[in-house]
Structure 1
Amino acid sequence: MFRRVLTLLLAALLTLSACGDGSGDAQGEAAGLAVADAWVKATDMKMSAAFAVLSNSGDEDVTIVGVTTGLTDRAEIHETADGAMRPVESVTIPAGDSIRLEPGGDHLMLMDLKAPIQPGEEVELTLELGDGSTFDITATAKDFAGGAEDYEGGKGH
């Protein structure tokens, strides 16, 4: 009898522990998200960009709808198409797949920087996801000349 009650009690506890509160924190879209090779372009100008490989091991697509950082009050998701950079509303990481945020492609644009970004500096970014949850990234600043990108003056925007 005791064994049967204990088994039922454990089953009930496991069932209850699987129930979330719907807050979207670690149980939301961010649950399957992972980041690799996160970096930001070091600069003494007013604009820069952040890059990374974002992987989604979950069963549902993850949609990034925004980005915030203490470096600026103005950060956007951008794409590069037809030789021009432009803001986009979102970027989606398909279930079981990954995307690369990279120079010349999709990236996180950081505008009106409050201070220069020094090589080696650790930059905190927060991705805002479509379900209301967030995902924090730490990116290391590094020198990068790239394809002679010029973020000043809004060129290519």
Structure 2
Amino acid sequence: MASRRTLLRTVVAGAAATLTLTALVACSSNDAAQATDAEAITVSDQWVKAADTGMTAAFGVLHNSSDREIRVTSAHTDDARSTEMHEVVDNGTGGTVMRQKDGGFVVPAKGSMTMVPGGEHLMLMGIPKPITTGQKVAFTLRFADGSTAEFDALARDFDGNQENYNPGEPEHSGSHQ
């Protein structure tokens, strides 16, 4: 009889331990699934092109640690009247044109999205005062789930990529400074 009770206690204890472990794993998985988009994104190699007037751009790498793609829906900095997400595309005549990116930026699951001169980037429009080399520019990114993330980018000199800008009006084109 004693050995049956011991066996029964061992089985009950094993079942309880299995249920506890299963509950902990389920809670951990649910916590990870509930993480906001902002919590899953990190920014690296971020910088802004120094500029005296007009427009300038910010670049860097967005890293996504989650198992789902994440969409950046908008960006903001107090150092510009407006901030847009831009892409550079073929203009159909052998050149390129810069335009606002419909739908924002998508950062793939467990992947990254690189913002570079001549490619996708954050466009700072109507800078009210010069952005000088060495200056820190603070940004806020907003994601599809409504969460936000902040990062600073250091301004530096850069002479490349004088793209044409097309804000959706075919007859308008200007120079990205």
Same structural fold, with TM-score higher than 0.5 when normalized by the shorter chain = yes
Equivalent runs, 1:60-99 vs 2, <5 Å: 60-82=68-90, 83-88=96-101, 89-99=103-113
Matched residue, 1:144: 158
Shift of 1:78: 0.3
Matched residue, 1:128: 142
TM-score normalized by the length of structure 1:
0.79
Q: Which has the larger radius of gyration?
A: 2
CA–CA distance in 2 between the matches of 1:35 and 1:75?
A: 17
Two-structure CA RMSD over aligned residues (Å):
2.7
CA–CA distance in 2 between the matches of 1:76 and 1:154?
A: 16
Range 140-149 or range 90-99, more displaced: 140-149
**Structure 1 counterpart of 2:160, which letter?**
G
CA–CA distance in 2 between the matches of 1:112 and 1:84?
A: 19
Deviations 1:62-121 (A, max 9, x none): 100100111123110000001000002311000011011000000000001111100000
Count of residues in correspondence between the two structures: 141
Equivalent runs, 1:1-150 vs 2, <5 Å: 27-82=35-90, 83-88=96-101, 89-149=103-163
Contact 2:163 2:175 in 1 (8 A): no
Which residues of structure 2 form unaligned runs of 5+? 1-15, 91-95, 166-171
TM-score normalized by the length of structure 2:
0.71
Matched residue, 2:9: none
Shift of 1:154: 5.0
Range 115-124 or range 30-39, more displaced: 30-39
Matched residues, percent identical? 39
CA–CA distance in 2 between the matches of 1:125 and 1:69?
A: 5
SS at match of 1:31: helix
SS at match of 1:132: coil
CA–CA distance in 1 between the matches of 2:173 and 2:149?
A: 28
SS at match of 2:161: coil
